[in-house]
Amino acid sequence: MKKLLVLVGFLAVLLTACGSPGVATPTADITQTVAYQLALIDAQGAPPATSTVAKYQKVLDSLHDKTGDSEAGIANGTVEGQKILRQDGYTGDDRLYTLMQACDQVLTKQEHQKYATTLAELITLMETPS
């Protein structure tokens, strides 16, 4: 748990420093990408496979294209959303990738809806008893 909190803190610092909007800057070190950091958090500190990081990058790119939000903004919102779910006792699948993918599936480019709005709606639905 402590390792996860350290990773979340590191991600917050990394994302604050990477304020550039949109498309990830090409880098030789995949471990410095937002996608890698999100995959690392979901893997609870175990280094993710390159194919896993690519999956995270694909959904980040799609969400950016649909919302105009930066990767950093999407990542920060998703980490915060996961924290809210866990604080409220949600016991279902709350992986960062799952949250981003669920939002990506309902968003379209035509709506121009911000990611935070869609994520908030999703969290509300997830927390609503059936």
Mean pLDDT, residues 79-93 taken together: 93
Whether the full predicted model's pTM is greater than 0.95, yes or no, is: no
Domain boundaries, given as residue ranges, for the chain: 2-127
DSSP string, the chain: -HHHHHHHHHHHHHHHH----SSPPP-S-GGGSHHHHHHHHHTTTSPPPHHHHHHHHHHHHHHHHHH---HHHHHHHHHHHHHHHHHTT--S---HHHHHHHHHHH--TTT---HHHHHHHHHHHHHS--
Instruction: Give the per-residue pLDDT at 29.
Output: 87
Which two tokens mark 51? 């194919």
- 17-57 pLDDT tens trace: 344 444 444 545 889 999 999 999 999 999 999 999 999 99
Cβ pair 85, 123 in contact under 8 A: yes
- Rounded to the nearest 5°, which phi and psi values hold at 104? -60, -35
**Res 9 pLDDT > 90:** no
**Res 13 pLDDT > 50:** no
- The Cα–Cα gap between 9 and 103 comes to 24
Give CA angle at 60 (57, 64), nearest 5°. 140
Q: What mean pLDDT value characterizes the chain? A: 82
